[in-house]
A and B are shown apart, each in its own frame.
Chain A
Amino acid sequence: SQQGEEDPQALSIQEGENATMNCSYKTSINNLQWYRQNSGRGLVHLILIRSNEREKHSGRLRVTLDTSKKSSSLLITASRAADTASYFCATDPAGNMLTFGGGTRLMVKP
């Protein structure tokens, strides 16, 4: 089974609403990353949060990490139609490679 699992698998919201997706993982990590994938730009790195960090911001993105619960969340505020994409969390269980989850498919309706 995959190291990271995103929840929900699919999410549909209206433009302007916030979107929250979660990632749970099984083993200890050094860092956790979030990536976005859409047909236009492929797979793009969004944010990296280290195991000793609890929260990180980048523009409209807010990522939290709870190592005690082995979980992370990605919040996109004031969503736009252009945010429509699949979002993946990636962890480094062995410290030397990334393992991706199955992704959350986000649809933002105009």
Chain B
Amino acid sequence: EAGVAQSPRYKIIEKRQSVAFWCNPISGHATLYWYQQILGQGPKLLIQFQNNGVVDDSQLPKDRFSAERLKGVDSTLKIQPAKLEDSAVYLCASSLDLSGAGEQYFGPGTRLTVT
């Protein structure tokens, strides 16, 4: 079974530039998550989709972050404009569980450096 795919794996941008990350979940997984993991900390949920609808985006900084999941499969997360404090690893995860509280499968992440 193919795992969660993410791209790019690494990205370096200057502050105020924009960046987009892509995620392809495990086939058949209805629930998709984006997490931000700052160095030395645990992952923090940014947004959760069930199919193509948003379940929870309470921790997404909506003035600069946006995410979509067209057709309920692939998803993109965008940051515009980026700030220095956005430097982190952005993890995508998916699950069969519809509640959001079950086992999640994580992708390798995209390491973002904002200079």
**Neighbour of B100 across the interface among A2, A88, A98, A101, CB < 8 A:** A98
**Neighbour of A96 across the interface among B44, B91, B99, B108, CB < 8 A:** B99
Docked pose: A101 CA to B103 CA in angstroms? 16
Q: Is the CB of B109 within 8 A of A97?
A: no
Tell me the A88-108 residues at the B interface (CB within 8 Å). Answer: 88, 90, 92, 95-103
For the complex, is A31 an interface residue (Cβ under 8 Å from B)?
Answer: yes
Q: Is the CB of B41 within 8 A of A43?
A: no
A28-43 vs B, CB cutoff 8 Å, 1 = contact: the mask equals 0011010000000011
For the complex, is A48 an interface residue (Cβ under 8 Å from B)?
Answer: yes
Q: Is the CB of A95 within 8 A of B101?
A: yes
Query: Within 8 Å CB of B55, what residues of A?
Result: 96-97
Q: Determine the interface band of chain A, counting residues with CB < 8 A from chain B.
A: 20 to 34
Grouping DSSP codes into helix (H, G, I), strand (E, B) and loop, the B interface class, with mixed when no group exceeds half, is: loop
Q: Is the CB of B108 within 8 A of A42?
A: yes
B side interface size, CB within 8 A:
22
Query: Within 8 Å CB of A4, what residues of B?
Result: 42
Tell me the A37-92 residues at the B interface (CB within 8 Å). Answer: 42-45, 48, 88, 90, 92
Q: Is the CB of B43 within 8 A of A95?
A: no
**Neighbour of B45 across the interface among A31, A99, A102, CB < 8 A:** A99
Q: Can you give 7 contacting A-B residue pairs, CB < 8 Å? A: A33-B103, A43-B91, A43-B109, A48-B103, A96-B99, A98-B100, A98-B104
Known: A43-B109, A102-B40, A102-B42. 16 other contacts (CB 8 A): A30-B101, A31-B101, A31-B102, A42-B107, A43-B91, A43-B93, A48-B102, A88-B42, A96-B56, A96-B100, A97-B45, A97-B101, A98-B100, A99-B45, A101-B42, A103-B41
